[in-house]
Chains A and B, each alone.
Chain A
Amino acid sequence: MSVLVFADSSERKFKKTAYEVVSYGKKVAEQLGTNVIALTINGGDASELYAYGAEKVIEVKNDLSSFNAKAYASIINQVAKNQSSNTVIIDSSIDGLTVAPLVAVSLEAGYASNVVELPNSTSPFVVKRKAFSNKGFNNTEIISENKVIGVAKNSYGAHENAVSGSTESFDATMPDLGVNSVSIDKATGKVTISDADVVVSAGRGLKGPENWGMVEELADILGAATACSKPVSDLGWRPHSEHVGQTGKPVASNLYIAIGISGAIQHLAGVNASKVKVVINNDPEAPFFKAADYGIVGDAFEVIPQLIEKLKAFKQA
């Protein structure tokens, strides 16, 4: 009984979360006394997964140009059966979150999503999951023989653990796709909120869309993605795709810098999975200060230019 990890990719490059789930799967396999197998679908170079502990990589190559829920679920199911895997580990990329419940049904597996740590125990099999928009955790027992674990983004982390791996290819049969891709619209050359280590986010405190130049410059220096609060996207100052918070995009970055955002509960619900939070706000009573790790009470129009200048010097040093 092996542990199967689905290592998600886009345009033949592994997503950051792929390294995280391979690292996680390696440890779970050790706990269970078995081996870990990574599955890639039109993925990147398998050796990149050996570096995180994948002893065996199964490559599926076909003419799918992009993710398809039914096809991916069917492939994962076929490989899990072929490799006698009763534990399947999937990331929390949008693809991962889409395919995991389908895999769970096809394997008649109990599915626990949003898992933040290695299993507390393997018999019974209990995992810790985040819930209530990061305001609580539940320890869930997976009762069924087959198990699907969804690992929360940036929770366990990627850990290098080089092994000498081997690669096999697998010929999967394809189901009827059902849903067909027409076109994909992706910003190129921009760090995306879902993949970013650092997110620089700004709110109504910036007074108008014309003042976003300094936010973008700060993000640029930090290699960060830019984001905004809900009022800012509602006002049309920034695109909806930058809205982070409960009904917007979730953020689970290493560093989240909030400029001129008061910190409404709905905003915090979407961003408090970030590890380190910095708040810059001229209102010392802004609720975000209670949720933050570091803060500066000050005018963004004075603080941000100084921060840009000093960070430039810091990055050069």
Chain B
Amino acid sequence: MKILVCISHVPDTTSKINFTDDNTKFDTNGVQFVINPYDEFSLTRAMWFKEKQGASVTVVNVGGAETEPTLRKALAIGADDAIRVNAVPTDGFLVAKELAEVVKNGGYDVVLAGKESADYNGQMVPGMLASLLEYNFVNGCVGVEIEGTSASLEREIDGGEEKVTSSLPIVVAGQKGIVEEKDLRIPNMRGIMMARKKPLNVIEPTGASNSTSTQTFEKPAPKGDVKLVDNVDDLINLLHNEAKAI
């Protein structure tokens, strides 16, 4: 089993979100970047396949050199090697097309990703990648087992869960449940030392084009202060007459 795990390099959830250059760029000043939390669930599941079933695990990111510490962290968690496609990830379609080349060239039969990134929350790349590769696709995955060339999976649906089966090759977009929070791994010193020696291959992009482009960013309108009330009658009255919510 050859697993490729797609890793997004995203601002930590606690980051302040600001924009610069006339609101055309995300302001990275003072922002701490991390492995996208949704990807981390899928990466952790990949580690399980490596340890229990002898899978090889490669991590990949489409981005500039500034994303390499995030890939090194994935190597410290236990991935075997890393690939960085040296391109600016301007939109989901471009990223998916670049990743599709990596998958084809590497012959990966299982591609794991998070169902969305914590920055743009687009939920685009895994599905696009599956479609470009004509791989099977399971989104919102909360459980996966693989035996030989077949997989049994659980995925979230509106109001419940569905059990499905699929043949390989497959793209799986995971979320919490594919592993639990307590299964996530903090890299130890040995892992961090070893990660420095693992291969991180930088490859040049195929030159795929984007089909959307961000014009400007904006922040939400400032929220008014909370209205505090000291009894439930006032609350019901406000919710009914002012907020029209009940």
Of the residues B130, B152, B156, B229, contact of A102 by C-beta under 8 Å? B130
CB-nearest residue of chain B to A269: B13
A10, B158: Cβ atoms closer than 8 Å: yes
A99 neighbours in B (Cβ, 8 Å): 127
Q: How far apart are the CA atoms of A108 and B128 in the complex, in Å?
A: 10
Of the residues B121, B157, B165, B223, contact of A94 by C-beta under 8 Å? B157
Q: Which candidate, A46-54, A208-216, A305-313, is the interface stretch facing chain B? A: A305-313
Q: How far apart are the CA atoms of A303 and B182 in the complex, in Å?
A: 34
Q: How far apart are the CA atoms of A254 and B244 in the complex, in Å?
A: 9
CB-nearest residue of chain B to A145: B211
Q: How far apart are the CA atoms of A67 and B119 in the complex, in Å?
A: 28
CB proximity of A27 to chain B, nearest CB, Å: 21
B164 neighbours in A (Cβ, 8 Å): 179-182
Q: How far apart are the CA atoms of A155 and B52 in the complex, in Å?
A: 44
Q: How far apart are the CA atoms of A222 and B219 in the complex, in Å?
A: 32
CB-nearest residue of chain A to B230: A296
B212, A294: Cβ atoms closer than 8 Å: no
B158, A95: Cβ atoms closer than 8 Å: yes
CB proximity of A11 to chain B, nearest CB, Å: 10
A192, B166: Cβ atoms closer than 8 Å: no
A140 interfacial contact with B, CB 8 Å = yes
B93, A310: Cβ atoms closer than 8 Å: no
B217, A180: Cβ atoms closer than 8 Å: no
| Given A184-B160, A185-B160, A187-B160, residue A136 in contact with residue B17 (CB < 8 A) | yes
| Binary CB contact string for chain B from 123 to 144 against chain A (1 if under 8 A, 0 otherwise) | 1111110111000111110000
B165, A140: Cβ atoms closer than 8 Å: no
B120, A100: Cβ atoms closer than 8 Å: no
B66 interfacial contact with A, CB 8 Å = no
B17, A70: Cβ atoms closer than 8 Å: no
B226, A289: Cβ atoms closer than 8 Å: yes
CB-nearest residue of chain A to B123: A97
A289 neighbours in B (Cβ, 8 Å): 226, 228
CB proximity of A95 to chain B, nearest CB, Å: 7
B229, A73: Cβ atoms closer than 8 Å: no
B21 interfacial contact with A, CB 8 Å = no
B211, A186: Cβ atoms closer than 8 Å: no
Q: How far apart are the CA atoms of A268 and B41 in the complex, in Å?
A: 20
B193 interfacial contact with A, CB 8 Å = no
B210 interfacial contact with A, CB 8 Å = yes
A122 interfacial contact with B, CB 8 Å = no
A276, B245: Cβ atoms closer than 8 Å: yes
A94, B140: Cβ atoms closer than 8 Å: yes
B218 interfacial contact with A, CB 8 Å = yes
Among A232-266, those with CB < 8 Å from B are 234, 240-241, 243, 246-248, 254-255, 265-266
B122, A275: Cβ atoms closer than 8 Å: no
CB proximity of A52 to chain B, nearest CB, Å: 20
CB-nearest residue of chain B to A274: B245
CB proximity of A220 to chain B, nearest CB, Å: 14
CB proximity of A143 to chain B, nearest CB, Å: 6
Q: Which candidate, A33-41, A56-64, A126-134, A160-168, is the interface stretch facing chain B? A: A126-134
B212, A247: Cβ atoms closer than 8 Å: no
CB proximity of B40 to chain A, nearest CB, Å: 10
CB proximity of A47 to chain B, nearest CB, Å: 23
A108 neighbours in B (Cβ, 8 Å): 211
| Binary CB contact string for chain A from 10 to 29 against chain B (1 if under 8 A, 0 otherwise) | 10000100000000000000
A101 interfacial contact with B, CB 8 Å = yes
A192, B232: Cβ atoms closer than 8 Å: no
A66 neighbours in B (Cβ, 8 Å): 162
Q: How far apart are the CA atoms of A269 and B118 in the complex, in Å?
A: 10
B239, A184: Cβ atoms closer than 8 Å: no
B38 neighbours in A (Cβ, 8 Å): 247
CB-nearest residue of chain A to B138: A179
Of B96, B229, B246, which is in contact with the most chain A CB atoms at under 10 Å from its CB? B246
A294, B239: Cβ atoms closer than 8 Å: yes
A182, B163: Cβ atoms closer than 8 Å: yes
Q: Which candidate, B54-62, B78-86, B173-181, B199-207, is the interface stretch facing chain A? A: B173-181
A110, B212: Cβ atoms closer than 8 Å: yes
A247, B226: Cβ atoms closer than 8 Å: no
27 contacts between A and B (CB under 8 A): A10-B158, A69-B139, A104-B124, A110-B91, A111-B124, A114-B122, A131-B122, A136-B218, A139-B215, A141-B213, A144-B212, A179-B138, A181-B164, A183-B163, A184-B157, A186-B157, A198-B245, A198-B246, A246-B37, A247-B38, A255-B243, A255-B246, A276-B245, A291-B223, A294-B228, A295-B228, A296-B229
Q: Known pairs A69-B127, A255-B245, A306-B232. 18 more at Cβ < 8 A?
A: A73-B131, A94-B158, A109-B211, A131-B121, A131-B122, A139-B214, A178-B167, A181-B164, A182-B152, A183-B163, A184-B157, A192-B159, A194-B159, A198-B246, A243-B176, A255-B243, A293-B223, A297-B228
Closest 10 CB pairs between A and B? Answer: A101-B127, A110-B211, A186-B160, A192-B159, A105-B131, A178-B136, A255-B245, A98-B139, A182-B163, A135-B17
